[in-house]
Chain A
Amino acid sequence: DAKTTQPPSMDCAEGRAANLPCNHSTISGNEYVYWYRQIHSQGPQYIIHGLKNNETNEMASLIITEDRKSSTLILPHATLRDTAVYYCIVRPWNSGNTPLVFGKGTRLSVIA
């Protein structure tokens, strides 16, 4: 898997958009960008993934730069329940049983 770089921590005011960046400058053409989060000691929760186009679902939006070397996860209206560690993972679409590798992620604190 390509390496990803994320800031170790971020704060966001409740109700504001949380923009979490991820750098994946060595990404290959067949690799997706995935975002997961883990709320303290709960199971990792899948958020969204994309290949090259921007994606949106009920939880978040994913913006991937045109050169695919970085991406941003956007939580449009952060709530206290969005406080978690967010992981950006790059992985080939045909990865077989390559286990998910969760790096250190970004610890997002949503503040009232």
Chain B
Amino acid sequence: EAQVTQNPRYLITVTGKKLTVTCSQNMNHEYMSWYRQDPGLGLRQIYYSMNVEVTDKGDVPEGYKVSRKEKRNFPLILESPSPNQTSLYFCASSLSLGGGQPQHFGDGTRLSIL
């Protein structure tokens, strides 16, 4: 089944303890992206990747890192998490950015930073 898989689905942790949220897609998609969703603010893009070893900042990149060493994986790294990063996170992928390709989303990761 074609899908975007995120892990973990839920995580409660403490300020400053490094964490990684994994994202994997099995559709051979070139484009991957991370969003966060907060009440009243909608979805905001954190980072995106056009292909392997090509990443760039979205609208709210502060406090986050990403890497794209393989086409299928796009982990989101919080080196020193803070309470303002408590949010619902979504990973998305699409075949490419052009040609009207739709984006497919994972089921989300709910992070709570205490």
Q: Report which A residues bind B (CB closer than 8 A).
A: 32, 34, 41-46, 49, 51, 93-97, 99-103
Interface of A is mostly: loop
Q: How far is the CA of A71 from the CA of B110 in the complex (A)?
A: 34
Q: Is B79 part of the binding interface, using a Cβ–Cβ cutoff of 8 Å?
A: no
Find chain A residues with CB under 8 A from B97 CB: 94-97
Evaluate contact between B50 and A46: CB separation under 8 angstroms: no
Q: A97 touching B48 by the CB < 8 A rule? A: yes
Q: Number of contacting residues on B, CB 8 A?
A: 28
Collect the chain A residues with CB atoms within 8 Å of residue B58's CB.
97, 99
Q: CB distance A41 to B108 under 8 Å?
A: yes
Q: Which residues of B contact A34 (CB under 8 A)?
A: 102
Chain A nearest CB, measured from B77 CB (Å): 20
Please pick, from A41, A45, A49, A97, the residue contacting B88 in the complex, using a CB distance under 8 A. Answer: A41
Is there an interface contact between B100 and A99, defined as CB atoms closer than 8 Å? Answer: no
Q: Is A102 a contact of B43 with CB atoms below 8 Å?
A: yes
> In the assembled complex, how far is the CB of residue A98 from the closest CB belonging to chain B, in whole angstroms?
8
Complex Cα–Cα for A31 and B52 (A): 28
How far is it, in angstroms, between the C-alpha of A111 and the C-alpha of B107 when the chains are bound? 25
Contact B102 A46 (CB under 8 A): yes
Task: Return B61 CB to nearest CB of chain A, in Å.
Answer: 12
Nearest Cβ on chain A to B59's Cβ, whole angstroms: 7
